Every structure is written in C-alpha cells, then in structure tokens.
Amino acid sequence: MTSAAPLTVVIVGGVAGGMSAAARLRRLDEHAQIVVFERGPEVSYANCGLPYYVGGAIAERESLLLQTPASLRSRFRLDVRVRHDVVRVDTAQKVVEVMDLDTGRRFTQPYDTLILATGARPRRDEPLSDVPVRSLRTVEDADVIDASLSRPGVPVVVVGGGYTGLEAVENLVARGASVTLVQRGPHLLSPLDAEMAAPIAAEIRARGVDVRLGVEVATAGSGAVTLSDGSTVAAELIIDASGVVPETALAEGAGIRLGETGGIAVDSMCRTSAPDVFAVGDGVEKLELVGGDTALITMAGLANRHGRMVADLIAGRTETVRPALGTGIVRVFGIAAAKVGWSERQLRAAGREFYVVHVHPGSHAGYYPGAETLSMKLLADPGSDAILGVQIVGRDGVDKRIDVVATAMQAGMPAAELAHLELAYAPQFGSAKDAVNILGYVAENTRTGTTPTIQWHELEAAQEAGTTLIDVRSRAEFAAGAIPGALNVPVDELRDRRDELPDGLVVVHCQVGLRGHIATRILRQHGVDARNLDGGYRTWRDATLRRG
C-alpha cells in the first residue's frame, strides 16, 4: 500500500464559516484538495461592513473584500470558484452537482468530506410592485443601494428594526435619505425588552427618522408604500432588514435532516444527518445555552468559530461547539445596545422563573469627565442565580460590559458573583465598583430580599390598589419631573418623617435605584413594608417613552 490519497474536501459557501473552515484546514493539512463553491461573485467579504459602505464611513469598496479567489489560491492553495452554484448533493455517491453561472455548464465534483456553509437568505425578496426591494447582505446589494441614493432626500423605507435595520437607518440618514423605519413588533430591537429599546427609538426619531411601530408593509406602488394601518409613506426604495431564513434547499434536496427551527440540524460537532457532511453558519440551527435547545442564531462569530472547528475535526482533532449565548451589539447614532442570553419576553413566553434587576451606573468614575449613564438589565434564575440574560444600552462602555457578562455567563458564573469581578480601574475606564460589579450587588440584594423591588410595569396596578409611592429624590429633581401620584420625601429626611408614612406597602423610588435602595433599607428597619422601584425614575421614564 502506498500512503492514502489526499482528502478531497468540498465547501459550499465562501464567506464566513466556509472560508474559516477552508483556511484552517489548509493550515492543518497541506495536502488536502480543498474546493470552495460560492454562488455569488465574491468570497470572504465583510458583510457586517455593508451598511457603513453605503453610509460612507467605509470609503473604499475594496476594503470590504477581505480575500479574492486569487489571494486564497496563492496563500492557501484553495480552489475557489465564485459564481458556481451547487445545485445538488448526492450523499450516497458523495458528489455535488455544480452549475457555473457564467457559462451554464454543469459538472459533478466528488468529495470525501462536504461542508455546507450555505448561509441564510432574506425572508422577503420579492419586489413590491414598482418599488425595488433590496436586502443588505451582499456587496451587490450595497452597490445597488448606493446607486439609488444619488440625490439628497430620496425616500427610503427600511423594513425591520433589528441590528441590520438600525445600521441601515443610520447610514441612510448619513447619505441624506428621507427614512421611514417600519417595525412589525411593538418596539425596535426585538431581542431587547421594551423599556430597554425605547431610548433607541427616541434617538432615531430625534434624528428625523419616521419610526412606525406595530405595522407592516402591505402594498407598494407609484413611489409609495402602504402600511398595515392604512397610512402611506413615500418610498423609492425598500430595504428589507426584516430578518433571514436558513438557506436549506440544498440540504433538504439531499435528504439531510432539518431541525424544528427550520435550520439544518447538526450535532455538537456540526455533523449533519448525512455521513461526512458537516454544516456551519447561518443555515444551521445552534444549541443555545439558556434554553438548552436549538435556536436560529445568525452571528458571524459563531459561523467563523464553527467553520474553524470543523476543519479541526476533519484534520483528526477532537472538539465540540459551546452552546451559543446569542451575544449581539449594535450602535446607532452614538447609542449602543447590546444583549446576551434571553429577554424577559422570551423567559415569560417559555414560562421560566426569573428575577429582574435594572441599574444605571456610570460608564466610568463620575468625577472624571465624559462618563455616560448606562442602562443595564439583568435576568437571573431565582433558584440557582444563573444569569439568563443581560441587556445594556448607553453611549459609552456598553461593549465592554456585555463582553464581561457574556464571559461570566459562558463560565457559568452566578449573577451575584459579578460583584466580585476584579476589573481594571482607572478613572477613564471604570469605577472602583464597576458597572458590572453594581449589577452583581443589586442582583444579590434583590434575590436575597435585602431590598425587595417592584418592576415598572407593576407600579400602576400597585398605585391603583392604594400603595403609596414615595419619591426620595431631592425637591429639585422632583420638581423637574416626577411619576404621577408620587409623594416627595428626600431620602435624608425619611428617618425624621417616618410618621408621615402609612403602615401598608410603600413603594419608594429615586432616579436610578441607589437612593431608593438606601430608603428601602431605612424604612424596612423602621417597620415599613417598603419596596424599591427597580431602576428608579429612569427605567420608568424609558418604559413610558414608548407610549409617547
């Protein structure tokens, strides 16, 4: 026997997951034959940069194109074929059938191992009457949108207020377009809860964008769009950022099992139901940490990481995926919004038990200029104290805090342990008690009942049932804007004015929750059944913003 012939590995899809697999495999196996088929005209492009190319922050189109077939051939000896559509997989014969989109020629390519990195496609891509519809997933999309914005004031409707939709809005405004943002759900950024997302909508509106919540596009034509509430909006272009669905036709046609989510089903090694066929990226359902079940999470980081791991497996190493957290972030007009894990809405829908904490610490020490107030929401298991989800919104330091929490969550750290993290402190960067530490302290005070809280959405019912609401802020703060029905007793006067308070349940609140916590502790020790309004006036105000 001579030594085995080189392995032939065929990869369908040449962007994030597929290209990570190809490059890593070459580093581990210099002799494998690695063939990448990509339907589009480009491989390995920066699709997360497309909105910023449209907006002009990324000036050079070339900087989006991270690799070319030629560069991949010279560095990695990859056989990369763009504009090649894999139309069929025969898992019995272990061949793929490929069509060259430029010539129409069909041919078959055998494989020893196949990696499906087919990605996802826009949920909706049919044109609406004579108004063109574009998603923002490919360089070609960006080129077409760019060309549509040749004069100022072009009316554009963006459908979908998720990460991509918000990035599109910011960049369309930067180009002088007249933008309407249409969101089917009741608030923007559906991975976040309403009170966390509300400041984003307010900011976007302040930049002149017409934000329409709770509606869909019904029909379009003659330069306008009609929404489901009957209103019409001018539109020369519709940008569809309403989400994506896994591209599974190829897998389905090959009899490869799909999961309940509609994505390709894979095990913890990204193996599909067919022998020697792996799948990674946006086309695949992921094992998700909080639910312990599969979910569709379309994040470039996961695609890259899983692609690389599959190369390790093919090269004979042992590795498994980590359950996904769904960590995500978006910045729009200077506000960043980030999340990890589940939202309150998701937990409620699944009937999970949880407790909630809202805090508003500074992004760094208050005595040093430039600190911004963060809004942070934590959801944790009241039994195990496992972190179930965190949402953070603010103008500075959001990315750092979500990454710290994601790391803690991935490590299985309970919420109260966040208080003990020894984070780097200098006044430009944080505080001796960092925002994440504060989140941990308040979590512990809440879970242990040290300071019982009520949530913003429970306040109205409590007030209707006769509960007294005490605003413990200063007189000046109270005068500048207060919750209807609140009585102002500054925290420093509470001990002396205890007799003015009723004996039943009393809800106290301050601006962000800290003085309310102090007030609650004082009152409870003086025999008052006090609870703190979680997140204070600020969370209440954010939550009620959305009604405006």
Catalytic residues: 510
Burial class (CB in 10 A: 0-12, 13-18, 19+), 138: middle
User: Minimum distance between the CB of residue 10 and its own copies, rounded to whole angstroms?
Assistant: 21
Nearer to its own copies, 315 or 545 (CB): 315
Name the residue with tokens 């791991």.
309
Dihedral (CA of 146, 151, 153, 154) sign = negative
Q: Residue 258 or residue 313: which is nearer to its own copies going by CB?
A: 313
Phi and psi of 505, rounded to 5°?
-60, 135
Residue 412 structure tokens: 């299985």
List b or e across 408-445, with b for residues whose CB sees 16 or more CB atoms inside 10 angstroms.
Answer: bbbeebbbbbbbebebeeeeeebbeebbbbbbbbbbbb
Place of tokens 């026997």: 1
Question: Which lies closer to its own copies via its Cβ, residue 63 or residue 129?
Answer: 63
Question: What residue type is assigned to position 432 of the chain?
Answer: A
In angstroms, what is the minimal distance from the CB of 83 to its own copies? 23
Taking the complex as a whole, how short is the minimal distance between the CB of residue 424 and its own copies, in angstroms?
Answer: 4
Map residue 528 onto helix, strand or coil. coil
The first and second tokens of residue 525, run together, are 């020790």
**DSSP codes of every residue in 214-271:** S--EEEEETTEEEETTS-EEE-SEEEE-S-EEE--HHHHHTTPPB-TTSSBP--TT-B
Which region holds residue 20: left if phi is over 0, alpha if psi is between -120 and 50, else beta? alpha
Strand-strand pairing, 113-116 and 453-454: unpaired
Element (H, E) at 146: helix 139-148
In the three-class reduction of DSSP (H, G, I as helix; E, B as strand; rest coil), residue 57 is classed as: coil
Closest CB to its own copies among residues 388, 543: 388
Tell the smallest beta-carbon distance from residue 267 to its own copies (Å): 17
Q: Judged by CB, which is closer to its own copies: 114, or 309?
A: 309
- Nearest residue (CB) to its own copies, 36 versus 335: 335
Q: To the nearest whole angstrom, how small is the minimum distance from the Cβ of residue 177 to its own copies?
A: 21
**Hey, is 70 helix, strand or coil?**
helix
Instruction: Determine contact, residues 136/150, Cβ cutoff 8 Å.
Output: no
The answer to whether 374 and 394 are in contact (CB under 8 A) is: yes
Q: Show the DSSP H helices in 149-270 as ranges.
A: 163-174, 194-206, 249-253
CA distance 288 to 297: 8
- Distance (Å, whole) CA 145 – CA 95: 38
SS3 239: strand
Token pair recorded at residue 33: 């034959």
Q: Which is nearer to its own copies, 7 or 66 (CB)?
A: 66
Give min distance, CB of 109 to its own copies, in A.
Answer: 23
Is 516 in contact with 341 (CB distance < 8 Å)?
no
The distance of closest approach from Cβ of residue 183 to its own copies in the complex, given in angstroms and rounded to an integer, is 19
CB of 514 to its own copies, least distance (A): 10
Nearer to its own copies, 157 or 405 (CB): 405
